[in-house]
Amino acid sequence: MGAEAPVAEVPDAAAPDETAASVIVLRFVGAWDPTFRAEVRRELVAQLMRDGMQVRVDPPDAASIGALAHIDLHAAEAQQIAIAVEVRDEVTQKSVRRVVDLSQTAADTQSLVLSIATSELLAASWAELALAAHAHDPPPPVPVTRGLARRGLPPRRAGVRHDLTIAADVQGSLYRIVLLGGGITYGLRPWARVGVEFGLRGLALLPIEAPGGTIGGGVGTVDVALAGVAHAGDRVRLDLRGAVRPGVAWTRGIPVAGAEGARSIDAIVDVTVGPRFGIRTGVVWMIVFADVGWALAGVRLRDTAETVARHSGFIWNAGIGCRFDVGRGRRP
């Protein structure tokens, strides 16, 4: 989010003669991108000071400051443009909350949009708290596009997000097939909660002992998946994913003395569905996943005329990996 060039943060805008009647405490909560945080801080502090307020940014003693209001900006995810704005009014001891949806806003105007939405919410909060019968009911998202229009900034669609996932996994069936390996997945997310993924996997078959010798081999697949966000927080997220996996399975027989080995190459197609649980550690998401599915096109492993194992019917898959956000493009 924001420009690539570093943006110097402004110092706390608290004047020496500040009083509680004019002090606003501003806090940034969650995993903020440093550049975007600095841009938002600069824009919002300047906006509040134009409105006659003194601003304290992330003070260590925020709870003890008798400020006119507290503003908490919650960043749900570094690359996800959905930010919660909470204003706590010390006069009425009540709070209001808005969700600012920036998904239709260009990256180079997001800090200005957030500043506009926050200052407008602050200006209206006391009247709303006094009049609303249900002050704690979550209101609808703030229409930030109207603020842009008043300032001659027509909204544009935000960029498409991209990410890469590297994972190690294990897959098996009910008929003696166990595969170990890993892969890489590219995620293309043009919408806030839905995206598509494309992946490559390579898995090795654990050797299977048969009367005529040992059977080895492997599987290579191309994954095409649809993924949706079920829950997204500051540090934890849950995705649901459904995938189609066409690929190739190859086997090689290592015969005992007096027997003959054989090789085979077969096409396979699997369909799977399952959750992805993620925990943020800095700029990386640690991912744990588990899938269940069905082999639409499988393969049988034979020793002479006898089937000793097969990849067919019910299948399962589990693993662990890391996901990296790799940037945001622009929509036309």
Q: Alpha-carbon distance 55 to 246, whole Å?
A: 57
Neighbours of 100 (CB within 10 A): 22
Residue 8 is predicted with a pLDDT of 38
Domains and CATH numbers, the chain: 23-150 (3.40.50), 161-328 (2.40.160.20)
Residue 288 is predicted with a pLDDT of 97
**Do 70 and 88 meet the contact criterion of CB atoms below 8 Å apart?**
yes
Residue 131 is predicted with a pLDDT of 53
Closest CA relative to residue 197, chosen from 231, 239, 159: 239
Residues in the chain, pLDDT under 50: 1-20, 78-82, 84, 90-91, 132-136, 140-145, 147-157, 330-332
pTM: 0.55
**Do 223 and 198 meet the contact criterion of CB atoms below 8 Å apart?**
yes
Tokens, residue 130: 């006094």
Residue 332 is predicted with a pLDDT of 42
Neighbours of 66 (CB within 10 A): 10
β-pairing, 178-189 vs 161-173, is antiparallel
Phi and psi at residue 62, in whole multiples of 5°?
-60, -40
Closest CA relative to residue 24, chosen from 91, 101, 82: 91
Residue 159 is predicted with a pLDDT of 63
Residue 95 is predicted with a pLDDT of 65
Tokens, residue 137: 């009911």
Residue 21 is predicted with a pLDDT of 53
Based on the number of CB atoms within 10 Å of its own CB, is 218 exposed (0-12), middle (13-18) or buried (19 or more)?
middle
Closest CA relative to residue 134, chosen from 96, 106, 191, 80: 96
Segment (H or E) for 43: helix 34-50
Closest CA relative to residue 80, chosen from 285, 286, 226: 285
Based on the number of CB atoms within 10 Å of its own CB, is 67 exposed (0-12), middle (13-18) or buried (19 or more)?
buried
Q: Alpha-carbon distance 255 to 262, whole Å?
A: 9
Segment (H or E) for 95: strand 94-101
Instruction: Classify residue 34 as left (phi > 0), alpha (psi -120 to 50) or beta.
Output: alpha
Residue 148 is predicted with a pLDDT of 47
Tokens, residue 166: 């590297």
Output the CA–CA distances (angstroms, integers) from residue 124 to 49, 56, 129, 130, in the order listed. 17, 20, 9, 10
Q: Alpha-carbon distance 270 to 314, whole Å?
A: 10
At CA 274, angle to CA 226 and CA 296, rounded to 5? 75
Classified as helix, coil or strand, 206 is: strand
